[in-house]
Amino acid sequence: MPPIKTHEWSLAERGKVLGLWEGKRHSLSEITNITNIPKTTVYDIKTRGTSETKPRPGRPKLLDETTLRQIVRHIKTDKKTRRQSLTVIINLLNLKVSFRTLHHALHSHGLHFHVVRRCPLLKKVDMKRRLEFAKRWVHLPVEFWKRHIWTNEMSIKLYGTRQTQDLVWRTADEEFHKDCIDHQKRQTNGVMFWGAFR
């Protein structure tokens, strides 16, 4: 079972406890009421006689929270930074950590390297029309749609370079964020196919 994370009092707060105790005018209970610090913690600070924190057990983290927040802000800057590899991020930000360390740190903030969602390149007027259509018909039952046939066409290249999959850093709720999707332009230089479906 992992240890329970407790509140860490600041250097100034612990110093205030020591100052009140060394002034010899307040009891432990009174100091607790003044500082809002639990009595057991006040007693521990008094016993240790210093406002410095205890040495932490285990290996210290290579990336503190401040640095990690800066890395996350860098990644979320724009569409380009979302697609940077760990190597590029480490070199650009001059980080002294391994790929594995940075990878785990980003995961702890909910950032994962996902395949980019691809969406058709639409004009704003077309986006508006599609949204209006969806809102108008969304409440109709499935039986209604079974009486309709949908048609579409697409262009397929038989030869040429294979399109690679782009990856993007994003959280679970950023799947369709504007910086996390790629827009596909309509192709007309391949073999055209037309189909209908229900």
183 plus 130 within the same structural domain: yes
**pLDDT reading at 98 higher than 50:** yes
**For residue 188, what pLDDT band results from cuts at 50, 70 and 90?**
low
Worst-scoring range by mean pLDDT, 46-50, 68-72, 88-92? 46-50
Considering its fold, how many domains does the chain have in total? 3
Domain enclosing residue 52, as ranges = 1-58
**Residues 71, 53: one domain?**
no
Question: Is there a single domain that holds both residue 10 and residue 25?
Answer: yes
Provide the H-helix boundaries in 58-98: 65-75, 86-92
Reply yes or no on whether the pLDDT at 164 is more than 60: yes
The DSSP secondary-structure symbol of 110 reads T
| CA distances (Å), origin 49, targets 7, 54, 174 | 19, 12, 49
- pLDDT for 83: 94
Q: Measured between alpha carbons, how far is 17 from 37 in angstroms, rounded to an integer?
A: 9
Q: Give the residue among 43, 47, 48 at the shortest CA–CA distance from 32.
A: 43
Q: What is the pLDDT of residue 152?
A: 82
> Between β-strands 181-184 and 117-120, what pairing exists: parallel, antiparallel or unpaired?
parallel
**What pLDDT is recorded for position 14?**
80
Please indicate, yes or no, whether residues 34 and 83 belong to a single structural domain of this protein.
no
Same domain as 53, residue 93: no
Residues 191 and 136 placed together within one structural domain of the fold: yes
Among 119, 92, 128, smallest CA distance to 177 is for 119
Percent helix / strand / coil, the chain, rounded to 5: 45, 15, 40
State how far the Cα of 180 lies from the Cα of 110, in Å rounded to an integer. 15
130 and 191 housed in the same domain: yes
Among candidate residues 58, 75, 98, the one where a domain is terminated: 58
**Percent of the chain topping pLDDT 70:** 85
Residues 154 and 102 in one domain: no
Mean pLDDT of the chain, nearest integer: 83
The last residue of one of the domains, among 75, 98, 114, is 114
Q: How many helices (H) and strands (E) does the chain have?
A: 8, 6
Same domain? For 134 and 88 the reply is no
Do residues 130 and 169 both lie within one domain? yes
Same domain membership, residue 45 and residue 75: no
Q: Say if residue 192 is in the same domain as residue 145.
A: yes
